[in-house]
Amino acid sequence: MIPVLIVLNAGSSSLKFQVYDMFDGAEPRLVWKGLYEGLGAEAHFIVKDTDGAILDEMTWSRGDRIGHEEALMHLVSWLRSHQEGRKLAAIGHRVVHGGEAFTAPALVDDSVIQRLEALVPLAPLHQPHNLEPIRIVRRRLPGMPQVACFDTAFHQTQSDIASLFALPREMRERGVRRYGFHGLSYDYIASVLKDYDPRLAEGRVIVAHLGNGASLCALKEGTSVATTMGFSALDGLPMGTRCGAVDAGVIFFMLREMGLSPDEAEGVLYTKSGLLGVSGLSNDMRVLRSKAAANADAKRAIDLFVYRITREIGSLVAALGGLDGFVFTAGIGENDTATRSEVIAGLAWAGLALDEAANRGGGPRISTGPGPTAWVIPTNEELVIARQTRSVLGATQAKLAS
Ligand code: ADP
């Protein structure tokens, strides 16, 4: 029997999954990937093979009440009926916040769940959804090994100064500091830099993870030295619906002068801001690009996005003391030719020069000339979760055997 692991990434009404064969030595190998969406309403399940061919699909009506628990149990029984000599051996979860305590992936037990629950106030819109499937598996599949993999852990290499806010010391003692996010994505990019250009793996690189959530990370020799996200996943760049960095005074204005409750203010900052808030149209870059020529608000939202990215890059180049390479990744970074070309145009001062044909072709290298190089590298957060899950299990088994 080949042991397999499921990688889960749970959102408020969705459950993304990938199934990997676990072998000794070589990388975990992807077998199937799929998605449940519309959970709690008209749920839909789709699973594909590695070539993207649809293997199975199903839609439930609202009355079927398919939530995360039902979806997870459906997935487990789908796997059982399609396992072809495979056996489910573990589940790896994406967990957005590991706080100060979790600097590496963790084998889940009740105390780990409790400590992760205590971090909900630090990531109120993500952490509860990430923890729900962990609890469900513990209840419905007792004994199934589970590993929590954190978006914050990759940034643990940052210096004390890089992670500090200029707030009173007791705030730092309460855990108020910069954590940084998208660490699973940055971990993947750092792990493959050597395959693109060995000098990048040794050098100073900025990675732009530009998706619905967006951040930049400064890598020195493959480790994180600074990032644009801070205490929560709100900081830094404007995103699809999140504001990015705003003056903290704005929040007091919202509370005192506009009469918003803390929950309402939080809703504005997380779900009504960013590309959506500025354009008044959409959080989706494809929609904004298609309207930008005729719609000034769509253009403004994109211009602000690009402006903020180029400004933040300046700050990270200073933190790195120079720049050897730049990487675009995630939905916008991997697909939006125009955003890449506008960002590179804003980096001429750092010696970057765009290779327009390569950019139109999607890379991987999209720069020309003797300066720092620019790249498009598709991210793979799920593979990092699979790697981490396998390595935590391997370490645990080794400990038990010794
Ligand atoms: P998430 O953070 O939810 O994983 P993604 O990484 O999938 O997000 O990125 C979603 C963003 O990528 C959206 O703004 C979407 O418009 C954008 N995107 C996806 N494909 C394209 C494309 N072909 N051109 C421009 N933008 C794209």
- pLDDT at residue 373 greater than cutoff 90: yes
Alpha helices in 255-376 (DSSP H): 262-271, 274-279, 285-291, 296-320, 330-335, 337-345, 356-360
pLDDT band at 401 (very low <50, low <70, confident <90, very high): low
Out of 2.40.10.10, 3.30.420.40, 3.40.1800.10, 3.20.20.70, the CATH code matching 2-150 is 3.30.420.40
The mean pLDDT of 168-193, rounded to a whole number, is 96
- pLDDT at residue 365 greater than cutoff 70: yes
What is residue 400's predicted lDDT score, i.e. its pLDDT? 60
Distance 212 CA to ligand 1 centre (A): 6
Distance 333 CA to ligand 1 centre (A): 8
Residue 149 CB–ligand 1 contact under 6 Å: no
SS3 content of the chain, % helix, strand, coil (to 5): 45, 20, 35
* pTM (two decimals): 0.95
pLDDT band at 150 (very low <50, low <70, confident <90, very high): very high
Note whether 2-150 and 197-381 share their fold. Answer: yes
Would you call the peptide bond into 364 cis, given omega within 30 degrees of 0 as the criterion? yes
Reading the block at residue 90, the tokens are: 């573990």
Residue 240 CB–ligand 1 contact under 6 Å: yes
- pLDDT at residue 25 greater than cutoff 80: no
CB 5 within 8 A of CB 390: yes
What is residue 398's predicted lDDT score, i.e. its pLDDT? 63
- pLDDT tens string 27-58: 899 999 999 999 999 999 999 999 999 999 99
The mean pLDDT of 204-230, rounded to a whole number, is 97
Atom nearest to 379 CA in ligand 1 = 6
Residue 211 CB–ligand 1 contact under 6 Å: yes
Give the CA count within 13 Å in the CB-facing half-sphere of 55. Answer: 15
The mean pLDDT of 366-382, rounded to a whole number, is 97
CB 73 within 8 A of CB 82: no
Residues assigned a catalytic role: 151
What is residue 399's predicted lDDT score, i.e. its pLDDT? 65
- pLDDT tens string 57-70: 999 998 899 999 99
Reading the block at residue 166, the tokens are: 């200029």
Q: What is the mean pLDDT of the chain?
A: 95
Atom nearest to 214 CA in ligand 1 = 2
Residue 336 CB–ligand 1 contact under 6 Å: yes
pLDDT band at 125 (very low <50, low <70, confident <90, very high): confident
Residue minimizing CA distance to atom 21 of ligand 1? 335
| Residue-range domain boundaries for the chain | 2-150, 197-381
Distance 240 CA to ligand 1 centre (A): 9
The mean pLDDT of 156-165, rounded to a whole number, is 97
Number of helices (H), then strands (E), in the chain = 15, 13
Alpha helices in 84-241 (DSSP H): 110-117, 127-140, 169-173, 183-196, 198-202
For the chain, how many residues are written? 402
Q: Which CATH architecture has domain 197-381?
A: 2-Layer Sandwich (3.30)
pLDDT band at 355 (very low <50, low <70, confident <90, very high): very high
Share of the chain above pLDDT 90, in %: 90
User: How far is the C-alpha of 339 from the C-alpha of 333, rounded, in Å?
Assistant: 7
The mean pLDDT of 114-130, rounded to a whole number, is 91
pLDDT band at 12 (very low <50, low <70, confident <90, very high): confident
What is residue 402's predicted lDDT score, i.e. its pLDDT? 60
CB 201 within 8 A of CB 221: yes
Q: Pick the closest to residue 211 from 245, 231, 181 (CA basis).
A: 181
Atom nearest to 333 CA in ligand 1 = 12
CA distances from 227 to 87, 171, 207, 236, 290 (A): 39, 20, 9, 8, 30
The mean pLDDT of 78-83, rounded to a whole number, is 90
The mean pLDDT of 84-99, rounded to a whole number, is 94
Distance 35 CA to ligand 1 centre (A): 17
What is residue 122's predicted lDDT score, i.e. its pLDDT? 86
CB 326 within 8 A of CB 206: yes
The mean pLDDT of 197-225, rounded to a whole number, is 97
- pLDDT at residue 18 greater than cutoff 90: yes
What is residue 85's predicted lDDT score, i.e. its pLDDT? 87
User: How far is the C-alpha of 49 from the C-alpha of 47, rounded, in Å?
Assistant: 7
pLDDT band at 1 (very low <50, low <70, confident <90, very high): confident
